[in-house]
């Protein structure tokens, strides 16, 4: 399963906005430059984020975007869903009794993939924008990287 650029870029842009606003509007051009995302693509994403109630726009000189609600109250799943990014791992329509086969039957692994999609949604619903901005998203990825670095260092010492 892969999250498309729409969802990933929306989250990246929202984290950037949260980190750099300090109560002042942030221009999309600044976000585009820092995150290396096309300005026109960001404009499309922010139109959806604004309709979703996650950001508000400020017009005029010094204008840009602000968060519409507190970072603590903005879940990562809210951001992804606001830009119409489905959180699913099956080819089938979630919750549908019909499957993805041409005869409308469900594949043997349908329930496995549907539950994976549910778990991803639950996880993204448990993480807030504040968690990401303040680097409180901990898990095995950081531990694995530290362990690999330690093993490389030990391997180099043993080789000498």
* Domains delineated in the chain: 5-90+106-159 (1.10.10.10)
Query: What's the N-to-C CA distance of the chain in angstroms?
Result: 42
Residue 140 has pLDDT above 70, yes or no: no
Residue 92 has pLDDT above 80, yes or no: no
Residues 90 and 147: their CA atoms lie apart, in Å, by 33
Three-class DSSP category at 57: strand
Cβ neighbors of 40 (< 8 A, separation 6 or more) are none
Contacts of 91 (CB under 8 A, 6+ apart): 100
Share of the chain above pLDDT 70, in %: 83
Q: Tell me the longest C-alpha to C-alpha distance in the chain.
A: 63
Question: Residue 143 in 3-state DSSP?
Answer: helix
pLDDT of residue 34: 97
Work out the mean pLDDT of the chain and round it to a whole number: 86
pLDDT (tens digit per residue) in 40-83: 999 999 999 999 999 999 998 889 999 999 999 999 999 999 99
142 Cβ neighbours under 8 A, 6+ residues apart: none
């Amino acid at each position: 399963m892969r999250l498309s650029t729409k969802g990933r870029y929306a989250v990246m842009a929202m984290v950037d906005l949260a980190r750099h606003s300090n109560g002042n509007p942030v221009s999309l051009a600044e976000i585009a430059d820092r995150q290396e995302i096309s300005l026109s693509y960001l404009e499309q994403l922010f139109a959806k984020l604004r309709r979703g109630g996650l950001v508000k726009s400020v017009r005029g000189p010094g204008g840009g975007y602000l968060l519409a609600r507190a970072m603590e109250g903005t879940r990562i799943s809210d951001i992804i869903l606001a830009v119409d990014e489905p959180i699913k791992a099956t080819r089938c329509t979630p919750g549908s009794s019909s499957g993805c086969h041409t005869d409308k039957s469900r594949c043997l692994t349908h329930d496995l993939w549907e539950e994976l999609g549910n778990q991803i949604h639950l996880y993204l619903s448990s993480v807030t924008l504040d968690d990401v901005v303040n680097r409180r998203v901990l898990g095995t990825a950081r531990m694995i990287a530290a362990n690999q670095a330690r093993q490389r260092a030990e391997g180099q010492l043993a080789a000498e």
